[in-house]
Amino acid sequence: MSRVEESTRRLLTTVAAMEPDAVAEPSALPGWTRGHVLAHLARNADSLVNLLDGARTGTDIPQYASNEVRDQDIERDAPRPLDVHLADLRDAHARFAEAAALLGPEAWAVGVKHRSGYVFPAHEIPLKRLLELEYHHVDLDAGYTPAQWSESFAVAQFRRLATTLDGDDDLPAVRLIADDTEDRALIGAPSAGTGPTVEGPVRALAAWLSGRSDGADLRRTPDTGLPELPPMG
């Protein structure tokens, strides 16, 4: 939760420095303005409050009423003035922090259901919020980049995403080397062919693996194109 607090403060600082008309400008996410990203971040916090409340009370509270309602809420809130977005983000974070503070040790072990259907322990909710904050802060395209991720965040995401792509039969075998840490990984499957060895800072590698970079700043041996990665799950 302390990392969520820090990440939220960074996001609020970025939003407070934006020009009012920036809300309607494109974000780095296709089809979404910066207002869409901000609305999503606020409504995501509220959706996680639902899961926290469900874990605390032992009831099955859906993360969102439905995927359609989720999308409608984002579309509804996206065009709002910047100061309204900023206040909404602050208030939504306060609700999230308050809901988390109410959980006792046993409640953090309770299973809750993600909007996509899978069940996970409530103690993973703060991490899920952190991922939303860090990735979508970059997607906001307002000056915050993967180079500003903490090393611990970048290393954790490098390892998580590389593990997800290990053995993917649609990708050639690509060896990844983080030249500023001891991290190494192999993604793809040899049966799909052999791709390059890709080297660079762990933040740059995590950015590419997560779709937040085209990988142009990474070194490749041999110097060939990078494979197209699937969307981050």
Q: What is the pLDDT of residues 168-178, one digit of tens each?
A: 999 999 999 99
In the chain, where are the structural domains located?
2-144, 151-221
Taking the C-alpha atoms of residue 61 and residue 70, their distance in angstroms, rounded to an integer, is 15
Taking the C-alpha atoms of residue 156 and residue 172, their distance in angstroms, rounded to an integer, is 23
- Model confidence over 153-204: pLDDT tens digits? 999 999 999 999 999 999 999 999 999 998 999 999 988 888 899 999 999 9
Same fold, 2-144 and 151-221: no
Query: Which pLDDT score is estimated for 68?
Result: 96
Architecture of domain 2-144: Up-down Bundle (1.20)
Are the C-beta atoms of residues 183 and 202 closer than 8 Å to each other?
yes
Question: Which option is the CATH number for 151-221: 3.30.1050.20, 3.40.1280.10, 3.40.640.10, 3.30.465.10?
Answer: 3.30.1050.20
Query: Which pLDDT score is estimated for 112?
Result: 98
- Model confidence over 45-87: pLDDT tens digits? 999 999 999 999 999 999 999 999 999 999 999 999 999 999 9
Taking the C-alpha atoms of residue 52 and residue 48, their distance in angstroms, rounded to an integer, is 6
Confidence band, pLDDT 50/70/90 cuts, at residue 233: low
> What value does the mean pLDDT take over residues 95-106?
98
Query: Which pLDDT score is estimated for 178?
Result: 98
Q: Give the strands of the sheet with 173-178, arranged side by side.
A: 184-187, 173-178, 194-200, 219-221
Pairing, β 173-178 against β 194-200: parallel
Query: Which pLDDT score is estimated for 192?
Result: 85
Enumerate residues 6+ apart whose C-beta is below 8 A from 29: 36, 37, 139
Helix, strand, coil shares of the chain, percent, nearest 5, are 55, 15, 35
pLDDT at 129 over 80: yes
Query: Which pLDDT score is estimated for 190?
Result: 87
